[in-house]
Amino acid sequence: MSLYLGFDSSTQSLTGIVLEIGGSERRVVFQRSLNFDRDFPHYGTQSGVLPHADPLVATSSPLLWAEALDRFMGILARDSKVDLSRLRAVSGAAQQHGSVYLNIAAAAGLGRLDPRQPLVAQLSGMLSRAEAPIWMDSSTTAQCAAIASAVGGNDALARLTGSRAFERFTGPQIRKYHEQDPSGYAATERIHLVSSFLASLLIGAHAPIEPGDGAGMNLMDLAAGRWSGVAMRATAAGLDRKLPELAPSWSVIGRLSRFWVERYGLPPASVIAWSGDNPCSLIGVGLVTPGRIGISLGTSDTLFGLLRAPRIDPAGASHVFGAATGDYMALVCFKNGSLARERVRDAYGLEWHGFSRLLRDTPPGNRGAIMLPWFEPEVTPPVLEAGVRRYGLDAGDAAANVRAVIEAQMLATARHAGWMGERVVAIHATGGAAQNRAILQVMADVHGAEVRQLAVAESAALGAALRAFHGEQVAQGREIGWEEVVAGFVEPVARVRPDPSSVAVYAGLKPVYAACEAHALGRGPDPTPLVEAFRSGLDPD
């Protein structure tokens, strides 16, 4: 039986999963996560982010990601107790949009890594920029405006690249670097995404970018699957010479280099192009046909689904990326995911079990109390000035605030997904918080749809491992359908059904939530009368 390794280099951790697959026999044989703050304290990250005076700036360290990869391979070789000579292919997922800047020394240096030396010690001379801006950065509003205007407006940019200009997208980040550090930009020979950077470390050469993650840059012509000359020129001079090539998602981009083979005794397994965490999660939750959606409850919460054609969100809040199947995927990203849940938990001195108990003990609809949990600047809807807004909600009431943060997150997913045009019949839930039944019940009730809880919470790493399997099969000349690829790994372990009376409560609460959001964004009147009317409708006394 063959082994397939999938990684997920996320904001806060590196996870690896090894699958054993032989015909219909399929299982996870190894899984481990390394936490960036805890296991690599010398980088000084907080929740995976380097401290900065400007709250709009968010960066991390490419060296940290590389050191985690090196340590993970050591653990795999030492602790996994599986026969790694059967490892056939490796792929990976990474947080999207983040960019890594390499100088001219990298092309040769990557191919000459010394297996007797730690990886990280050999990389610092290859970076033209020590820090990597990541998806949590919101500091490029001016660059977004400049790029949008140079391509004929945000609608034109969305039609071309799948998204209007977003602060965290790679193009605006590159433009800012070019403006603020022209000599650093000039010394940059190659700009990688986090995914293609880590893939480069595995193969010992510059890796290509695939269209799933490439679509998160505001630089790729989505329909053609090519870098767009117009978008590149609108972003920074000479960018066409600095971007990696684009390659299909299932490409074998190389083999594990001598560094890994000699350092850890791994076989020279095929490396399949790495992608973004969201395109990999789409596979890892089994959304290989349209009609169902996935919700991932991670550092950010995301909602996603497969699209056969690149439909564009008319409100401009969402994105369309490439899918690993060769189709498209819709994605709506909410930055205040676990970030917000953790802040509420900590503000009231709770542990997770206490948080869940309060959620279960409070009534659906929260008596009309609404929180907009924008602890950090929000992506959907776009909010640059962080700050929690409360309507009919007493900040001192722990129970009501616990329910309010979860209800707000679920109401936001329902409100901002309508444009996909899919009637939601089932939701595949994943991510750390998807293990929490009380949260899944709110999800089912707000959407009025069954929620399927999956066995593997780490859907991005699982999806990456499944993509490794698929890519290797394709390379062998075997025609394999995606249903067959994911079979055995994505069947739900539990189903949470919507409760009709709660569904009715949320149908009434949705317009109240919408009015609060509009008011907080400065686009609507004070919603207090609506909050009060909802409350008195629930409780006529």
Residues that bind ligand XUL (CB under 6 A): 10-11, 95-97, 135, 168, 216, 276-278, 300, 302, 331, 333
Q: How far apart are the first and last CA of the chain?
A: 67
Nearer to ligand XUL, 188 or 380 (CB): 380
Kindly state the smallest distance separating residue 95's Cβ from ligand XUL, in Å. Answer: 3
Q: Is 78 exposed, middle or buried (0-12, 13-18, 19+ CB in 10 A)?
A: exposed
Nearer to ligand XUL, 221 or 277 (CB): 277
Kindly state the smallest distance separating residue 271's Cβ from ligand XUL, in Å. Answer: 21
CA distance 395 to 347: 10
Q: Are residues 429 and 297 in contact, defined by beta-carbon separation less than 8 angstroms?
A: yes
In the numeric block, which tokens belong to residue 513? Answer: 């939530």
Nearer to ligand XUL, 97 or 403 (CB): 97
Nearer to ligand XUL, 14 or 531 (CB): 14
Nearest CA to 446 out of 316, 312, 293 is that of 293
Run of H or E residues at 98 = none
Compute the Cα dihedral for 178, 182, 186, 188 and give only its sign. negative
Nearer to ligand XUL, 168 or 345 (CB): 168
Nearest CA to 226 out of 248, 251, 207, 197 is that of 248
4 φ, ψ (degrees, to nearest 5): -135, 130
Nearer to ligand XUL, 96 or 336 (CB): 96
Which three-class secondary structure state does DSSP give residue 271?
strand
Nearer to ligand XUL, 252 or 420 (CB): 420
Beta bridge partners of 96: none
Helices 500-520 and 528-538 cross at an angle (nearest 10°) of 170
How far is C-alpha 230 from the geometric centre of its chain's CA atoms? 27
Kindly state the smallest distance separating residue 475's Cβ from ligand XUL, in Å. Answer: 27
Alpha helices in 162-219 (DSSP H): 170-180, 182-186, 194-203, 211-214
Task: Map tokens 């776009």 to a residue.
Answer: 382
Nearer to ligand XUL, 63 or 93 (CB): 93
In 412-454, DSSP assigns E strands to 426-430, 450-454
Kindly state the smallest distance separating residue 431's Cβ from ligand XUL, in Å. Answer: 10
Nearest CA to 139 out of 466, 488, 409, 376 is that of 376
Nearest CA to 461 out of 24, 17, 123 is that of 17
Kindly state the smallest distance separating residue 419's Cβ from ligand XUL, in Å. Answer: 16
CA distance 178 to 187: 11
Nearer to ligand XUL, 163 or 502 (CB): 163
Kindly state the smallest distance separating residue 213's Cβ from ligand XUL, in Å. Answer: 9
Instruction: Report the number of secondary-structure helices (H) and strands (E) in the chain.
Output: 20, 22
Nearer to ligand XUL, 11 or 59 (CB): 11
Kindly state the smallest distance separating residue 381's Cβ from ligand XUL, in Å. Answer: 15
Kindly state the smallest distance separating residue 379's Cβ from ligand XUL, in Å. Answer: 7
Beta bridge partners of 92: 7
Nearer to ligand XUL, 281 or 502 (CB): 281
CA distance 88 to 86: 6
Kindly state the smallest distance separating residue 163's Cβ from ligand XUL, in Å. Answer: 9
Nearer to ligand XUL, 461 or 505 (CB): 461
Kindly state the smallest distance separating residue 402's Cβ from ligand XUL, in Å. Answer: 24
CA distance 31 to 458: 9
Q: Are residues 29 and 18 in contact, defined by beta-carbon separation less than 8 angstroms?
A: yes
Kindly state the smallest distance separating residue 335's Cβ from ligand XUL, in Å. Answer: 8
Kindly state the smallest distance separating residue 456's Cβ from ligand XUL, in Å. Answer: 17
Beta bridge partners of 331: 304, 319
Q: Are residues 452 and 428 in contact, defined by beta-carbon separation less than 8 angstroms?
A: yes
How crowded is residue 189: how many other Cβ atoms within 10 Å of its Cβ?
17
Kindly state the smallest distance separating residue 87's Cβ from ligand XUL, in Å. Answer: 26
Nearer to ligand XUL, 176 or 255 (CB): 176
